[in-house]
Structure 1
């Protein structure tokens, strides 16, 4: 294991995220800052590696002819990077970003549990106790494994077992995205923090995912609908919104109707981030839909992309940082999923 610790500083780092597209100059956006990680949602994928002092994650999310997008995480403090087995990571003394890939296999659950536990152990060793955000990009997400179990449900078993094994050592389940990708296997990356206060939120319109009934799989999905980070030394809280779809309670609603599913999805996010919901969780403040940034929109059918773009432009603003991907969603009847960050 390679470990290079950052120097201790008095102020908490400010974490930021933005998208870079082909032809754009990353240097103009990173002047005076330090890169914590890059995640390219592109045409091909490979195991994450360390490049230019930070993790580089390449995930197959863009089909032929589609635009690739790189998500860049930056901080205002110096970054140190390292490798721990298959995990690559970078840290700035306040935030940790780590990434790993699971290659295609017949059954995923045991490997998913091992990988999650390895990430949890890394966070604990390096002193980042609060998990903020998880991304899980699953090839053939609604397809069957070699036992006939849906790959996403297989994945959820391993993830739930890891959280159960670390119960009492992890401060709850954070925001997450579980979405399809265009390459077999599973790509994962995580954000954690050291001294900031992470608070996990549920949605008044939806059943908490970790309480879903058994009809959705032997283990329910292990995540919260959002995570609010209150970081010392920063100007205000940041809200990480989980991948959100057309689900009311635990039921998928409006199957086959892309306009209605877009409307429900956006209404779910609006309710989640509203002052009234933060107040239910004992927090002040709140956000509007137009506060969402670094928005990623996942659309099952390519033919629906113009409709989804129109809904997002109207609700979020045409000038927002929004990336669209034509990939499968975690339930066959769901047509669109949206995530983002409110600052």
Structure 2
């Protein structure tokens, strides 16, 4: 891989939105995320416009599946470094890798390998600041005690990173998929300039969780203000302090999750509430909760709020819903 100059390009505006139509990718498209299955050649591919194309194994529950589009006001190029596919433009970088955990000794070892690769790759990039990470893995709640797969994932992430994110944790999401291929998919957004970590006053910082949540605390921030001002919202569920609330009550968990996001917006000094400038992704553990979700969101969100709703397992078995997304200035 070639070395880059230490002088980064100016940061171009980054726009993130949801689109129900699978239109051709416009110039300046950095990435397009499609949900609903992984083709035989893997999760990541490149388009002829330079964009990174990601197909992610979470089943959409909307009437029309939404495509998440990341666009920069700059030329975009792409490439591949070992298992990592990437695209860059305007001071931004999106990258992704997929590993077959069975080929790497299980979920902990596969995660350690993935994050060691991420760390080594990012050390060579002008966009060296990792601001947002997404993780999708199979059977996230399987296992007991320290052998639960999410806890093993957290241990592998910590081992792979070493001290790579200490003091600069990115925003993140970890969701369980149900694809039988059991692939671990990690993708991330990085920038030539640092962001600003935001923590939620209603929640204990995840990296400070007590030992009961596993030998390695989850290494992520509740939110991240990007250099352009957008807030990246980490996966947010019905957790106050570090405890899960409203066990078995879907509607109460949803309301608590939205209250946590509203508290995060206030902590980040972002506009309150949700609207056309706040694309949200909702992960549902049970498809049967979709009617209740639609009814509750219709009461809480204006119809202009861009939504993607998917079937996905939350990192704690007792939690039924998780939300992440973006808040534009």
TM score, norm. by length of structure 2 = 0.89
1:40 aligns with 2:23: no
Q: Which runs of 5+ in 1 are unaligned?
A: 232-236, 279-284
Is it true that 1:341 corresponds to 2:326 in the alignment?
yes
Q: How far has the Cα of 1:66 moved from its partner?
A: 7.0
| Aligned residues of 2:11 and 2:192 also touching (Cα < 8 A) | no
In the superposition, relative to structure 1, how do residues 67 and 214 fare at CA in structure 2: closer, same or farther (>3 Å)?
Answer: farther
For 1:100 and 1:67, the matched residues in 2 are separated by 27
Asked whether the equivalents of residues 38 and 57 of structure 1 are also in contact (C-alpha less than 8 Å), the reply is: yes
**What is residue 138 of structure 2 aligned with on the other side?**
139
Say whether 1:288 aligns with 2:286.
Answer: no
Q: Aligned with 1:173: secondary structure?
A: coil
Q: Deviations over 1:85-117 (max 9, x none)?
A: 000001114100000112132522222122212
Q: Could you list the per-position Cα deviations for residues 31-80 of structure 1 after superposition, in whole angstroms to 9, with x for gaps in the alignment? A: 5x411112211134523122322222111111799753322211110011
Equivalences for residues 1-343 of structure 1 within 5 A:
1=1, 11-21=10-20, 24-27=21-24, 31=26, 33-45=27-39, 46-52=42-48, 53-62=50-59, 67-105=64-102, 107-144=106-143, 149-166=147-164, 172-183=168-179, 184-195=182-193, 197-231=194-228, 237-274=229-266, 277-278=267-268, 285-291=269-275, 293-343=278-328
The corresponding residue for 1:281 is: none
Query: 2:74 and 2:29 mapped to 1: Cα distance?
Result: 9
In structure 2, the partner of 1:282 is none
Give the 3 Å change call, closer, same or farther, for CA 143–9 of structure 1 in structure 2. Answer: closer
- Offset, 1:290: 1.4
Give the Cα–Cα distance (whole angstroms) in 2 for the partners of residues 304 and 194 of structure 1: 41
Residues 138, 151 of structure 1: alpha-carbon distance in 2 compared, 3 angstrom cutoff: same
Q: Is the 8 A contact 1:289 1:315 kept in 2?
A: no
Deviation string, structure 1 residues 248-290 (Cα, Å, up to 9, x no partner): 111100011011101110001101111xx23xxxxxx322121
Q: Distance in 2 between matches of 1:43 and 1:25?
A: 15
CA RMSD between the two structures: 2.5
User: Separation in 2 of the partners of 1:65 and 1:340?
Assistant: 16
